[in-house]
């Protein structure tokens, strides 16, 4: 890949990831404020999956067409999907951190307390002091912006891998002719 193509790859992936991340964050905030996330659990996750798949396909096809006769292989398409999701994951992670820290800190704190209660039940055979130390460390980590953002980046990358594997079958083009394969 030439420097220009490489720069274009990252610029295009960042643009697509920013768009996807902002759409997901906007929908998540809207779902929270309208009560959709409480009334229809799973709706946000389904929306995120559909938005991710649509973004990967639309931006991937656009990139494949722009590549023309140079082609856009399965591997390039998959890498592009993962790059999009890397950027989107960062945006979504920052959005979630804002949501957890300033918009719904009580809901996030409650989720952490539920997790702590389950952890206490799971490890009840250990000395109480050990359990308390582990829980306190987990509490500090789980409220860290770096942890929250990294968690969403990882989540988006896993989703990107799954979606990207399928999307790459439809996005890829041949190098010699530039014609679509699938």
Q: Is 6 helix (H, G, I), strand (E, B) or coil?
A: helix
CB-based burial of residue 94 (10 Å sphere; 0-12 exposed, 13-18 middle, 19+ buried)?
Answer: middle
pLDDT score of 182 more than 60: no
Mean pLDDT score of the chain: 90
pLDDT for 1: 53
Nearest CA to 58 among 30, 77, 76?
Answer: 77
- Comparing 5 with 11, the larger pLDDT belongs to 11
In this prediction, residue 48 has a pLDDT band, given cuts at 50, 70 and 90, of very high
Instruction: Report pTM.
Output: 0.86
Using CA atoms, how far residue 158 sits from 60, 78, 86, 147, 171, in Å, is 18, 12, 10, 16, 19
**Extents of the domains making up the chain:** 3-171
What is the secondary structure of 50-84 as a DSSP string?
HHHHHHHHHHHHHHHHHHGGG-B-HHHHHHHHHHH
In this prediction, residue 178 has a pLDDT band, given cuts at 50, 70 and 90, of very low
Structure-block tokens of residue 52: 């991710």
Measured CA angle at 26 (ends 62, 64), to 5 deg? 10
Average confidence (pLDDT) over 60-79? 92
CB-based burial of residue 164 (10 Å sphere; 0-12 exposed, 13-18 middle, 19+ buried)?
Answer: buried
The per-residue pLDDT for range 124-147, each reduced to its tens digit, is: 888 989 888 988 998 899 889 999
pLDDT for 112: 87
At 180, give phi and psi (nearest 5°): -70, 140
């Amino acid at each position: 890949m030439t420097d220009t193509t490489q720069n274009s790859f990252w610029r295009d992936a960042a643009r697509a990831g920013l768009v996807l991340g902002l759409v997901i964050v906007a929908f998540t905030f809207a779902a929270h404020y309208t009560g959709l996330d409480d009334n229809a659990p799973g709706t946000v996750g389904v929306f995120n999956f559909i938005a991710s798949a649509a973004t990967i396909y639309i931006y991937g096809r656009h990139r494949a067409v722009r590549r023309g006769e140079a082609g856009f292989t399965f591997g390039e398409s998959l890498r592009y999907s993962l790059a999009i999701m890397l950027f989107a994951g960062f945006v979504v992670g920052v959005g979630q951190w804002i949501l957890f820290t300033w918009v719904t800190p009580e809901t996030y704190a409650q989720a952490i307390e539920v997790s702590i209660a389950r952890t206490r039940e799971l490890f009840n055979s250990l000395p109480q002091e050990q359990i308390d130390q582990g829980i306190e460390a987990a509490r500090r980590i789980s409220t860290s912006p770096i942890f929250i953002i990294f968690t969403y980046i990882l989540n988006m990358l896993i989703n990107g891998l799954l979606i990207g594997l399928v999307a790459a079958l439809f996005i890829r083009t041949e190098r010699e002719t530039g014609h679509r394969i699938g």
